[in-house]
Homo-oligomer: A and B are copies of this chain.
Amino acid sequence: MSANNGMNGSTTTAGLCSPFLKALVQQIRGQDTYGFYRSWSDDLILKPFVVTKHKKREISIEGEVDPVTQARILAFFRAIAARIEQETGLISQVVVELNHEGFGWALVFSGRLLLAMKALRDAHRFGFESLEKLADEGESYVQKGLELVQRFPEVGKL
């Protein structure tokens, strides 16, 4: 990604063929009550999800996790839930619980089945090396979730 922060920053769009990234952009636009992102490109909206190793080292893990970062974690797991819903019709809940030190859990569940789960640590530094990595990791959660729904359909519907 270029460092261009302009409104029309149409940089790499390769990743955006990914159904996961599409779902993620939709999550963010869907929550955008005040039209803050209306004129932003998809790439620009996704940009804060890219946090390189170098940049991670610069982010302090002292104190509470920034609310904007928390919202980003929630959006990531909600996008997973949305993708699984698209494929299976199962409605799921997303719970993100973080303590004051940035440790906690992100959970996506339907019925009694945990479709996705991640133990979070250093949540202050939540992010991915590139848009492609973001797409890959998101999609791999989705695939794992779909596999579970297929193996244990009963549990997901309880």
Report which A residues bind B (CB closer than 8 A).
Answer: 93, 95-97, 104-105, 107, 109, 111-114, 117, 148, 152, 154-155, 158
The one of B96, B97, B104, B112 in contact with A114, judged by C-beta atoms closer than 8 angstroms, is B112
Determine the chain B residues whose CB is within 8 A of the CB of A117 once the complex forms.
109, 112
| Alpha-carbon distance between A105 and B96 when the two chains are bound, in angstroms | 10
Are the C-beta atoms of A105 and B95 separated by less than 8 Å?
yes
The one of B95, B97, B112 in contact with A148, judged by C-beta atoms closer than 8 angstroms, is B112
Going nearest first, the 10 A-B pairs with the smallest beta carbon separation are: A97-B97, A112-B114, A95-B97, A95-B105, A152-B155, A155-B155, A109-B114, A112-B113, A112-B148, A114-B114
Determine the chain B residues whose CB is within 8 A of the CB of A105 once the complex forms.
93, 95
Determine the chain B residues whose CB is within 8 A of the CB of A109 once the complex forms.
107, 114, 117
| Alpha-carbon distance between A152 and B109 when the two chains are bound, in angstroms | 16
